[in-house]
Chain A
Amino acid sequence: AQTVTQSQPEMSVQEAETVTLSCTYDTSESDYYLFWYKQPPSRQMILVIRQEAYKQQNATENRFSVNFQKAAKSFSLKISDSQLGDAAMYFCAYQVGYGNKLVFGAGTILRVKS
Protein backbone atom coordinates (compact mmCIF):
# COMPACT_ATOMS: atom_id res chain seq x y z
CA ALA A 1 0.00 0.00 0.00
CA GLN A 2 1.13 3.48 -0.74
CA THR A 3 1.78 5.70 2.26
CA VAL A 4 2.74 9.33 2.67
CA THR A 5 4.55 10.55 5.78
CA GLN A 6 4.88 14.12 6.94
CA SER A 7 7.13 14.03 9.99
CA GLN A 8 6.65 17.66 11.05
CA PRO A 9 3.26 18.22 12.70
CA GLU A 10 3.97 21.93 13.01
CA MET A 11 6.49 24.44 11.68
CA SER A 12 7.04 28.16 12.25
CA VAL A 13 8.75 30.72 10.05
CA GLN A 14 9.42 34.41 10.30
CA GLU A 15 7.84 36.56 7.64
CA ALA A 16 10.16 36.94 4.62
CA GLU A 17 12.22 33.92 5.65
CA THR A 18 12.42 30.49 4.00
CA VAL A 19 10.95 27.28 5.34
CA THR A 20 11.07 23.68 4.14
CA LEU A 21 8.34 21.13 4.78
CA SER A 22 9.27 17.46 4.60
CA CYS A 23 7.46 14.58 2.97
CA THR A 24 8.41 10.98 2.31
CA TYR A 25 6.37 8.34 0.55
CA ASP A 26 6.45 4.64 0.00
CA THR A 27 5.62 3.06 -3.33
CA SER A 28 6.65 0.28 -5.65
CA GLU A 29 5.42 2.19 -8.70
CA SER A 30 7.82 3.88 -11.07
CA ASP A 31 5.39 6.36 -12.61
CA TYR A 32 3.38 8.54 -10.29
CA TYR A 33 2.62 12.12 -9.34
CA LEU A 34 3.26 14.12 -6.21
CA PHE A 35 1.43 17.18 -4.97
CA TRP A 36 1.46 19.76 -2.22
CA TYR A 37 -1.93 21.12 -1.21
CA LYS A 38 -2.61 24.05 1.10
CA GLN A 39 -5.65 24.22 3.40
CA PRO A 40 -6.10 27.58 5.12
CA PRO A 41 -8.23 27.59 8.29
CA SER A 42 -11.89 27.02 7.43
CA ARG A 43 -11.18 27.36 3.75
CA GLN A 44 -10.98 24.97 0.85
CA MET A 45 -7.92 23.01 -0.11
CA ILE A 46 -5.97 24.37 -3.07
CA LEU A 47 -3.13 22.97 -5.12
CA VAL A 48 0.26 24.57 -4.49
CA ILE A 49 2.57 22.60 -6.74
CA ARG A 50 2.89 19.23 -8.44
CA GLN A 51 5.69 17.01 -9.70
CA GLU A 52 5.68 14.19 -12.22
CA ALA A 53 7.96 11.36 -11.10
CA TYR A 54 9.40 10.90 -14.59
CA LYS A 55 10.69 14.48 -14.60
CA GLN A 56 14.10 15.00 -13.06
CA GLN A 57 13.73 18.76 -12.88
CA ASN A 58 12.23 20.06 -9.66
CA ALA A 59 8.94 21.91 -10.06
CA THR A 60 8.76 25.61 -9.21
CA GLU A 61 5.76 27.92 -8.83
CA ASN A 62 6.76 31.46 -7.92
CA ARG A 63 7.89 31.34 -4.25
CA PHE A 64 7.19 27.61 -3.97
CA SER A 65 9.63 24.95 -5.08
CA VAL A 66 10.17 21.28 -4.41
CA ASN A 67 13.18 19.07 -3.83
CA PHE A 68 12.25 15.74 -5.38
CA GLN A 69 14.59 12.88 -4.58
CA LYS A 70 13.11 9.85 -6.33
CA ALA A 71 15.57 7.28 -5.05
CA ALA A 72 15.08 8.47 -1.48
CA LYS A 73 11.30 8.80 -2.03
CA SER A 74 11.44 12.30 -0.64
CA PHE A 75 9.42 15.32 -1.77
CA SER A 76 9.99 18.45 0.29
CA LEU A 77 8.38 21.86 -0.23
CA LYS A 78 10.37 25.05 0.09
CA ILE A 79 8.56 28.33 0.61
CA SER A 80 10.72 31.39 0.03
CA ASP A 81 9.96 34.92 1.23
CA SER A 82 7.20 33.60 3.50
CA GLN A 83 4.08 35.73 3.78
CA LEU A 84 1.34 35.87 6.40
CA GLY A 85 -1.04 34.41 3.85
CA ASP A 86 1.06 31.26 3.66
CA ALA A 87 -0.13 30.22 7.12
CA ALA A 88 -2.14 27.05 6.62
CA MET A 89 -2.10 23.28 6.85
CA TYR A 90 0.02 21.81 4.10
CA PHE A 91 -0.61 18.31 2.79
CA CYS A 92 1.69 16.20 0.70
CA ALA A 93 -0.15 13.79 -1.61
CA TYR A 94 0.68 10.96 -3.98
CA GLN A 95 -1.21 9.69 -7.01
CA VAL A 96 -0.73 6.78 -9.38
CA GLY A 97 -2.33 7.03 -12.77
CA TYR A 98 -4.60 9.61 -14.29
CA GLY A 99 -7.84 9.09 -12.47
CA ASN A 100 -6.81 7.35 -9.33
CA LYS A 101 -7.20 8.60 -5.83
CA LEU A 102 -4.82 10.85 -3.98
CA VAL A 103 -3.18 9.47 -0.86
CA PHE A 104 -2.53 12.26 1.62
CA GLY A 105 -0.10 12.68 4.47
CA ALA A 106 -1.28 13.82 7.90
CA GLY A 107 -0.31 17.41 7.20
CA THR A 108 2.02 20.08 8.59
CA ILE A 109 0.66 23.22 10.20
CA LEU A 110 2.69 26.23 9.07
CA ARG A 111 2.64 29.34 11.25
CA VAL A 112 4.07 32.59 9.92
CA LYS A 113 5.28 35.15 12.45
CA SER A 114 5.23 38.86 11.70
Chain B
Amino acid sequence: DTGVSQNPRHKITKRGQNVTFRCDPISEHNRLYWYRQTLGQGPEFLTYFQNEAQLEKSRLLSDRFSAERPKGSFSTLEIQRTEQGDSAMYLCASSLGTGFVSPLHFGNGTRLTVT
Protein backbone atom coordinates (compact mmCIF):
# COMPACT_ATOMS: atom_id res chain seq x y z
CA ASP B 1 0.00 0.00 0.00
CA THR B 2 1.85 3.04 -1.26
CA GLY B 3 -0.97 5.41 -0.48
CA VAL B 4 -2.69 8.02 -2.63
CA SER B 5 -0.19 10.08 -4.58
CA GLN B 6 -0.84 13.59 -5.88
CA ASN B 7 1.32 15.66 -8.17
CA PRO B 8 2.45 18.34 -8.12
CA ARG B 9 2.51 19.21 -4.42
CA HIS B 10 2.49 22.90 -5.17
CA LYS B 11 1.50 24.88 -8.26
CA ILE B 12 1.77 28.61 -8.73
CA THR B 13 0.14 29.99 -11.84
CA LYS B 14 -0.95 33.27 -13.26
CA ARG B 15 -4.60 34.13 -13.62
CA GLY B 16 -5.97 32.92 -16.92
CA GLN B 17 -3.60 29.99 -17.30
CA ASN B 18 -4.68 26.36 -17.38
CA VAL B 19 -3.45 23.87 -14.80
CA THR B 20 -3.71 20.10 -14.50
CA PHE B 21 -3.29 17.98 -11.40
CA ARG B 22 -2.79 14.24 -11.22
CA CYS B 23 -3.94 11.72 -8.64
CA ASP B 24 -2.80 8.10 -8.42
CA PRO B 25 -5.09 6.19 -6.08
CA ILE B 26 -4.28 3.07 -4.12
CA SER B 27 -4.02 0.43 -6.81
CA GLU B 28 -7.01 -1.76 -5.95
CA HIS B 29 -9.35 1.12 -5.13
CA ASN B 30 -12.18 1.56 -7.62
CA ARG B 31 -13.54 4.83 -6.23
CA LEU B 32 -11.81 8.16 -6.56
CA TYR B 33 -12.88 11.53 -5.19
CA TRP B 34 -11.73 15.11 -5.66
CA TYR B 35 -12.21 17.67 -2.91
CA ARG B 36 -11.23 21.31 -2.56
CA GLN B 37 -10.11 22.78 0.75
CA THR B 38 -9.63 26.46 1.44
CA LEU B 39 -7.70 27.74 4.44
CA GLY B 40 -9.43 27.05 7.73
CA GLN B 41 -12.31 25.16 6.14
CA GLY B 42 -13.28 21.57 5.69
CA PRO B 43 -12.92 19.87 2.33
CA GLU B 44 -15.72 20.45 -0.18
CA PHE B 45 -16.73 17.70 -2.57
CA LEU B 46 -16.03 18.32 -6.25
CA THR B 47 -16.52 15.05 -8.09
CA TYR B 48 -16.46 11.27 -7.77
CA PHE B 49 -15.55 8.36 -10.04
CA GLN B 50 -16.36 4.71 -9.79
CA ASN B 51 -13.85 3.02 -12.05
CA GLU B 52 -13.78 5.24 -15.17
CA ALA B 53 -17.31 6.56 -14.79
CA GLN B 54 -17.81 10.02 -13.33
CA LEU B 55 -20.90 9.47 -11.18
CA GLU B 56 -21.38 12.80 -9.46
CA LYS B 57 -20.30 16.39 -9.90
CA SER B 58 -20.78 19.21 -7.45
CA ARG B 59 -22.32 22.48 -8.50
CA LEU B 60 -19.00 23.92 -7.30
CA LEU B 61 -17.45 22.35 -10.38
CA SER B 62 -17.94 25.09 -12.94
CA ASP B 63 -17.47 24.51 -16.66
CA ARG B 64 -13.84 25.60 -16.24
CA PHE B 65 -13.19 22.42 -14.27
CA SER B 66 -12.95 18.99 -15.83
CA ALA B 67 -11.92 15.68 -14.37
CA GLU B 68 -11.12 12.41 -16.06
CA ARG B 69 -10.20 8.94 -14.99
CA PRO B 70 -9.23 7.04 -18.13
CA LYS B 71 -9.12 3.27 -17.69
CA GLY B 72 -10.21 3.61 -14.10
CA SER B 73 -6.70 4.15 -12.78
CA PHE B 74 -5.19 7.59 -12.24
CA SER B 75 -7.25 10.75 -12.49
CA THR B 76 -6.59 14.27 -13.68
CA LEU B 77 -8.28 17.49 -12.67
CA GLU B 78 -7.92 20.38 -15.07
CA ILE B 79 -8.81 23.97 -14.37
CA GLN B 80 -9.03 26.25 -17.38
CA ARG B 81 -8.66 30.03 -17.27
CA THR B 82 -7.74 30.01 -13.60
CA GLU B 83 -9.07 32.70 -11.30
CA GLN B 84 -7.75 33.89 -7.96
CA GLY B 85 -10.73 32.26 -6.28
CA ASP B 86 -9.44 28.89 -7.45
CA SER B 87 -6.54 29.16 -5.01
CA ALA B 88 -6.97 26.24 -2.62
CA MET B 89 -5.71 22.82 -1.68
CA TYR B 90 -7.06 20.15 -4.03
CA LEU B 91 -7.37 16.80 -2.32
CA CYS B 92 -7.77 13.42 -3.92
CA ALA B 93 -9.08 10.40 -2.06
CA SER B 94 -9.75 6.81 -2.99
CA SER B 95 -11.65 3.92 -1.51
CA LEU B 96 -12.50 0.32 -2.21
CA GLY B 97 -16.21 0.19 -2.83
CA THR B 98 -17.78 -3.24 -2.69
CA GLY B 99 -21.19 -2.48 -1.26
CA PHE B 100 -20.14 -1.31 2.17
CA VAL B 101 -18.77 1.90 3.55
CA SER B 102 -15.05 1.88 2.98
CA PRO B 103 -12.95 4.65 4.52
CA LEU B 104 -11.50 7.25 2.22
CA HIS B 105 -7.73 7.38 1.94
CA PHE B 106 -6.54 10.88 1.19
CA GLY B 107 -3.47 12.10 -0.62
CA ASN B 108 -1.30 14.98 0.54
CA GLY B 109 -3.03 17.36 -1.83
CA THR B 110 -1.96 19.85 -4.46
CA ARG B 111 -1.79 23.44 -3.26
CA LEU B 112 -2.74 25.85 -6.04
CA THR B 113 -1.88 29.53 -5.86
CA VAL B 114 -3.26 31.78 -8.58
CA THR B 115 -1.54 35.16 -8.78
User: What residues of A have a CB within 8 angstroms of the CB of B28 in the complex?
Assistant: none
User: What residues of A have a CB within 8 angstroms of the CB of B101 in the complex?
Assistant: 33, 50, 52, 95, 98
A93 to B41, CA, bound (A): 12
Q: Majority SS of interface residues in chain A?
A: strand
Report the minimum CB–CB distance from A66 to chain B (whole Å): 15
Closest partner residue, chain B, to A99 (CB atom): B97
Q: Majority SS of interface residues in chain B?
A: loop
User: What residues of B have a CB within 8 angstroms of the CB of A102 in the complex?
Assistant: 33, 43, 45, 104
Q: Is A62 an interface residue (CB 8 A)?
A: no
Contact B42 A44 (CB under 8 A): no
User: What residues of A have a CB within 8 angstroms of the CB of B108 in the complex?
Assistant: 43-44
A29 to B31, CA, bound (A): 23
User: What residues of B have a CB within 8 angstroms of the CB of A75 in the complex?
Assistant: none
User: What residues of B have a CB within 8 angstroms of the CB of A47 in the complex?
Assistant: 103-104
Q: Is A16 an interface residue (CB 8 A)?
A: no
Interface string of B19-55 (1 = CB under 8 A from A): 0000000000001010000001111110010100001
Interface string of B81-115 (1 = CB under 8 A from A): 00000000001000001011111101111000000
Contact A99 B104 (CB under 8 A): no
Contact B43 A91 (CB under 8 A): yes
Q: Is A45 an interface residue (CB 8 A)?
A: yes
Contact B41 A106 (CB under 8 A): yes
Sample of 13 further A-B pairs with CB below 8 A, known A45-B106, A91-B42, A102-B104: A35-B103, A43-B108, A44-B3, A44-B108, A45-B43, A46-B106, A50-B103, A93-B42, A100-B48, A101-B56, A104-B43, A105-B42, A106-B42
Question: Can you spell out 14 A-B residue pairs with CB atoms less than 8 angstroms apart?
Answer: A33-B101, A45-B43, A45-B106, A50-B103, A91-B43, A95-B101, A98-B97, A99-B31, A99-B97, A101-B58, A102-B43, A102-B45, A104-B43, A106-B42
